[in-house]
Amino acid sequence: MFAAIHIVGSNNALAAFDPASSAVRSSADDEEVERRTAAALAWLDAAFSAAQAANSPAVLIMIHANPGLEFGSADRYGFEDFLNELETHVQAYGKPVLLAHGDSHFFRVDKPTINGFTKNLTRVETFGSSKVHWIKVSVDPNSDEVFGFQQQIIPAN
């Protein structure tokens, strides 16, 4: 099961606007985050429900933002609702779950923790703007891990 969920950078758009810009954060901005996050959580629920119903061997969730899995909750405040819901689904699903994201432009494959749980969650973070390469993700529904990763380095970049 593959699902793309609209989770964005800058703490899911909750970070303060750049003071050097002329933009001023408004209640409409906060309302957009609230509506988008509710829709994202509903889509996450639907993806896991569909995966469960289809007896899918794994789930791949794609988002834009680095949700700060390498940080404590104080540094990922815009992502806590998403991460808590993800953790609940990962635990209940019990099969491999891959969270794919970009944003911080650092290639990594790891077994992060959300609130201390890591058993069947893998994260892959893609390369970014100053290092434009790509990652080949292979899917083998008959393997224990289901997903495999191979860096594809473009020498000119």
Residuewise pLDDT in 10s, the chain (157 residues): 999 999 998 889 988 888 888 888 899 999 999 999 999 999 999 999 999 999 999 999 999 999 988 876 667 889 999 999 999 999 999 999 999 998 888 889 999 888 876 689 999 999 877 778 889 999 999 999 999 999 888 888 8
For position 12, which CATH number holds? 3.30.750
In a domain, residue 15? The reply is: yes
Asked if residue 23 is part of any domain, the answer here is yes
Among left, alpha and beta (phi > 0; psi -120 to 50; other), residue 54 is alpha
The answer to the question of residue 88 being in a domain is yes
> Can you tell me the distance from the alpha carbon of 98 to that of 54, in angstroms, rounded to the nearest whole number?
17
Residue 78 covered by a domain: yes
The answer to whether residue 69 is domain-embedded is yes
151: how many CB neighbours lie within 10 A of its CB? 11
> Can you give the residue range of the structural domain that contains 51?
2-152
pLDDT in tens, 7-27: 998 889 988 888 888 888 899
- Cβ–Cβ under 8 Å, residues 122 and 96: yes
Could you tell me if residue 157 is inside a domain?
no
> 96: exposed, middle or buried (C-beta count within 10 Å: 0-12, 13-18, 19+)?
buried
pLDDT of residue 74: 64
**Per the structure, how many domains does the chain have?**
1
Cβ atoms of 133 and 153 within 8 Å: the answer is yes
> Would 144 be classed as within a structural domain?
yes
Question: Does the residue 37 lie in any domain?
Answer: yes
